[in-house]
Amino acid sequence: MKTAEIAQRYLDYFEKNDHVIVPSASLVSNDPSILFTIAGMVPFIPYLNGLVPAPYARAADVQKCIRTLDIEEVGHTARHGTFFQMLGNWSFGDYFKEGAIGYAWELLTSAEADGGLGFAERDLWVTVYEDDDEAAALWKKIAGLPEERIQRMGKEDNYWHTGQPGPGGPCSEIYFDRGPAYGRDGGPAVDDSRFTEIWNLVFMQEQITNVRSKTDFDVVAPLPRKNIDTGMGLERVAFIKQGVENMYEIDQVRPVLDRAVDLSGRRYGAEHGDDVRFRVVADHVRSSLMLLSDGVTPSNEGRGYILRRLMRRTVRAMRLLGVDEPTFPELFTASRDAMKTAYPVVADDWTRISQYAFAEEQTFLRTLAAGSTILDLALDETKKAGKPALSGSEAFLLHDTYGFPIDLTFEVAQEAGLDVDRPAFDTLMQEQKARAKADARSRKRAIADQSVYREFRAQGETVFTGYTDLETSSRVLGILVDGLPAQQAVQGQIAEVILAETALYAESGGQVADKGMIVGPGYELDVLDVQRPVPGLVSHTVEVTQGEVGVGQPATTVVDAANRRSAAQAHSATHLVHAALRDTLGRTATQAGSLNRAGYLRFDFSWGQALSDATKSEIEEIANNAVRDNLEVSTRVLPLAEAKQLGAMALFGEKYGDTVRMVDIGGPWSRELCGGTHVATSAEVGVISLIGESSVGASNRRVEALVGQDAFRELTAERALVSQLTSALKTPRDQLAARVAELSANLKAAEKKIAAFEARALADRVPTLADGAARIGAFRVVAESLGVAASGDDARSLALQVRDRLGSEAAVVALGAEVKGRPVVVVATNEAARAAGARAGALAKVAAGILGGGGGGRDDVAQGGGTDVAALPDALRGVRTALETA
């Protein structure tokens, strides 16, 4: 049974049993405390905890998930994968334990011919929470399971909660017995390798608080509305139904593994280490494909960093399998073909997906080449120092800064006859992980108090009137001061104010929040920010500038009209620039993010190279021609499917409901899903002036532009500057560029002459400096100040020349100079001096310490610096003193 067929059978069964079929949410989580959708229940959390009223009583879905916490286990076990799919059925105050158990058992054990999954009853075991007599009795009643196949387990295994105050409850897990070849008999309590969990039924029935750990918390009271949250692992069911050994061998994953086998020339099943690498490749390629399909792009932070890590682990695994050349064109194509039946987007959006994937692999292959060079130098230094192992700090630097995998560091070091200080490396990694976990905990804490919005959200969604009105009368539903509910806020306080209606736009879709005021009887509030802390609810962060505001009082939101107009100009201009980019570069130049505020826009798009000046001018001209043509800007609210059928562009990372708002400018020329505010016709945008274009990643570019009055002021300032230049240079405007180029060339020629003169002047000092060498112990020493030098390189060059002139006798040269207002000391030693114990790096550190800075370098030549120019004589004396004791 194919994986997609299992999923379809699941959905068909629950649709037949009156469940609303909900499409998978994006892998990019709405919850700011987590990067990805890490479990099937994540999209339903607002409904499960009562924060947002559920739009249906019962639902079912197939949810895409990404979880990398156990990434090191991938390939080693039968069931660990970074991308997985959860089949879930949900009840929000509708059916409870009996219904959930009945549905699960019927679907699992019904014959395949009848639409079921065809599991033999004898192969299924269940666990229940140790005190849940009700669930145990229901399993006997509904499934007829004997007592010995219903095992009771504690909170660690069979009690569910989020880790935060809120809903919780016991759960019941269903296990499949893979047979005696996979381990001991006796059920999941004895061996969870032989007995594989396939379905977890969570019975949310209690309100918990004071959560100290997974097993240590306080139960406050029963929930007023009990919920059902279930999750069945699609990949686990698939590898059982397909009769293969693990999730990496199912039909959606195995093609990638097989392609990796072909590319490497090695056999799957021949060697455990290679098998793990093949499975890592199969898993990570699929995960990367699905993340890219949901709009995540490789980067050095957040979600992009996780994607980059998955892709680079794939490259590393293929390298360890003996493949050094690019493989993503083969591997990603195989994954696309395996996944497109279940997720057509991976084929429909293949051009963009493959562009990012292939570019990232090429970038990392270059990184590996550069990292290899750095590693080779580090290994050479380690050998010269007579050390047996590369330091953990150097290995960590390669890993953390350059992205060079630690196991490749081990491999190369072993080839060089050296070890790596793994304990020190592991310590640094643990410290980094601890910092990351602390950051994650702080994010979680920041969002943990969302429950304060539950009462407000229960009164309905905040009505936004700002598309048509700049003032709206409403009433104060609630006030939060320091994150806690309050009855009032007084003058001087910062507070959050929740209203029933608002004309103020909440930040979203790249458009910043409106500026404005909230006024009422006896009070005025300056609006500092407007956000949507939970879906459907708008919160205004305000400063009370006059009087005091209380819950229940009338309130009128007043939008800053000039700021709104300018922001609307910028947002409409963003749509025009997007359309112009696609006209110029083609359909693959899709939006990857944007920012719109009054008078300014920033637009990120998928593209792999810098735009030429001619291309930028063409984009700017097309956008401004659209302004000139006074195109109508129209909006429609319609079903999402209809909008997509009409060709509306959707922004990756944005979440869309069943009904969306579509913005047209000039009909289909610019057609996007957008909740932002816009002008009525394109002529109202005024002027669009591109002011910058830059890289924001291997496959992303960014354009910035000023809009409307801000663009006009920028162009006016440039005109004034050109006028000043033409006057100062006494050159006509049309000849200004040539005149500036001529002056620049003359300046460079003059600088070269000056540099040559200064170099000659320094070279003329070599004999004098060498002749003035003093005897300190076994060394001939030159320790002098040069005064002001153009650069540290000049001092370095002179020190090497003086050292060479002193011949083969042990010689040390230390030259100080003031470079751009800061002190620099360069130390050079010859071979005889080094043999006598003089090390340039150590001497440079001595000087730098006196100068109030740092320094070091090789034994033959090194440099130090600091902040105190007046201390240069003392620094040079410090070098002489160090030599006296050498």
* Spatial CB neighbours of 459, under 8 Å, sequence gap ≥ 6: 477, 500
Taking the mean position of all CA atoms in its chain, how far away is CA 715?
36
**Residue 678 among known ligand-binding residues:** yes
Q: What is the CA radius of gyration of the chain?
A: 34
Question: Is the dihedral angle over the CA atoms 664, 665, 669, 674 positive or is it negative?
Answer: negative
C-alpha span between 665 and 679 (Å, rounded) = 10
Contacts of 857 (CB under 8 A, 6+ apart): 840, 841, 844, 863
Contact predicate 138/150, CB 8 Å: no
Q: At what angle do helices 97-109 and 3-16 cross, to 10 degrees?
A: 140
DSSP secondary structure string, 293-355? HTT----SSHHHHHHHHHHHHHHHHHHHTT--S--HHHHHHHHHHHHTTT-THHHHTHHHHHH
Q: Where are the alpha helices (DSSP H) in 25-132?
A: 45-48, 97-109
Cβ–Cβ under 8 Å, residues 631 and 681: yes
Q: Which residues pair with 496 in a beta bridge?
A: 480, 541
Structure tokens at 362: 């090429």
Instruction: Give all strands (DSSP E) within 393-464, no chain letters.
Output: 419-420, 463-464
The helix or strand, by DSSP H or E, that contains position 592, with its residue range, turns out to be: strand 591-597
Residues sharing a CB contact under 8 Å with residue 504, sequence separation 6 or more, in sequence order: 466, 513, 514, 516, 527, 530, 538, 540, 557, 559
Smallest CA-to-CA distance from 169 within 120, 100, 106, 104 is with 100
Contacts of 390 (CB under 8 A, 6+ apart): 378, 379, 382, 409, 413, 418, 419, 420, 421
In whole angstroms, give the CA distance from residue 574 to residue 600. 9
Can you name the residues that pair with 822 across neighbouring β-strands? 819
First-to-last CA distance in the chain? Answer: 79
- Contact yes or no for 247/207 (Cβ under 8 A): no
Positive or negative, the CA dihedral 318, 324, 328, 331 is negative
Q: Encoding tokens for residue 622?
A: 């097309």
| CB contact at 8 A, 67 and 233 | no
How distant is the alpha carbon of residue 241 from its chain centre?
Answer: 36
User: Helix 736-763 crosses helix 709-729 at what angle (to 10 degrees)?
Assistant: 60
Tell me how far apart the alpha carbons of residues 841 and 647 are, in angstroms, rounded to a whole number. 65
Strand partners, 499: 476
CB 239 within 8 A of CB 245: yes
Q: How far is CA 1 from CA 112, 233, 250, 310, 678, in A?
A: 9, 15, 10, 29, 50
> Known binder of ligand: residue 674?
yes
Q: Does 65 carry a binding-site annotation?
A: no
Residue 821 sits at φ, ψ, to 5 deg, of 85, 0
> Exposed, middle or buried: residue 267 (CB in 10 Å: 0-12, 13-18, 19+)?
exposed
Name the amino acid, one letter, at 148: E
80 assigned ligand-binding residue: no
What gap in Å lies between CA 764 and CA 576, rounded to an integer?
A: 64
- Give me 886's structure tokens: 């050498």
Known binding site: residues?
571, 575, 674, 678
Known binding site for Zn(2+): residues?
571, 575, 674, 678
